[in-house]
Structure 1
Amino acid sequence: MSELPPHEPCGPPPATEPSAGGSEAMLQTFLQQQGRMEKQLSRWVACRATAADLVQELFIRLWRRKDVQVEDLGQYMMRSARNLAIDHLRSQRSRLRTESALLPEQMVGAPSAVEDGHQADHDLHQVDAALRTLPERTRHVFLLNRIHGQSYSEIAGALGISASAVEKHMMRALQVCKDSIDMDSSSRNSHRKARS
């Protein structure tokens, strides 16, 4: 991200030429400057979509003040776009500082990627522990299918059992895995309720 120039006053420069104002001049100048403003803002905010949104916001602001008269409307638009980018980045930094200062229990919304990773790791251990409680043949069938990618008919041929027997072993293994995660999930929920 490029360094932004200092924030300049948002008010219009002193009026000089009446012909430079008006909705027609504003629209024409905006359309000429739009690509240039988006390109510049995109470098500053490091996101093309955000840059496009900011330029649209700028258009709305300028349209509300379309009768303002300035010496160089194009320069005025570029300066206004730069100020919008600065305001956006300041607001973003402020929000990030606020979020990083919050304790995990104060955060609102979805869990972070780190929490998701911990939860997935925990669930994997739960499933592994549940699989260890299965009879060896059932566990072997499950591992051949889910880890080694073998089909039911391949497993049946390798173990000398019917495909329907393989299916029964798989159903049993999957039910045990599901029950272990469901049980752990309900245990966590009741623990959370007890704490609150």
Structure 2
Amino acid sequence: MSRHEEGKAELIRLYLERRADLVRFFTVRLRSVAAAEDLVQDIYVRLSCLENSGEIQNPMAYIYRLGSNLMLDRLRGDRRTAQRDGVWLDSQTMRVGGEEISSEPSAEATVAARQRLALLAAAIEELSPQTQRVFRMHKFEGLSHPEVAVALGISRSAVEKHMMAALKHLLDRLP
């Protein structure tokens, strides 16, 4: 076994021996057992991938320093994430007089929209079956007039006439 392999094996042996101590140590600092467990697992991953461990004078100090560095990196990343999310939230939030205004429609607006939708659906049901098909294919499915004509086996002119009839009817029926 090479000196590097011996050093790495010694670090991992110490890690395994002191794993519970490491979890307690980082739980106090992170105020979370789950975060400490994740961090201690990251320490193991780093130790198992270590390239040059032959020069380490104090292996336990090295393990704790490695954990502290990983913890600081994680805390900085969390801080950056919180800051970025805060900036995004501020850009997406309307405020009036320091009070946050909901971007959701009011209950009245929601009820009114549902009522308009019900009126629209009822008005569409009053159309002839062929005009309904033309209207739905063009407006809801996004097909062009020529595409509707081909799909229904009618002329483009017929599609345009059905659309004009549908739109006129909807304008007459809807407030």
Instruction: Please classify the TM superposition score into its range, dividing by the shorter chain length.
Output: 0.3 to 0.5
Greater Rg by CA: 2
TM-score scaled by length of structure 2: 0.48
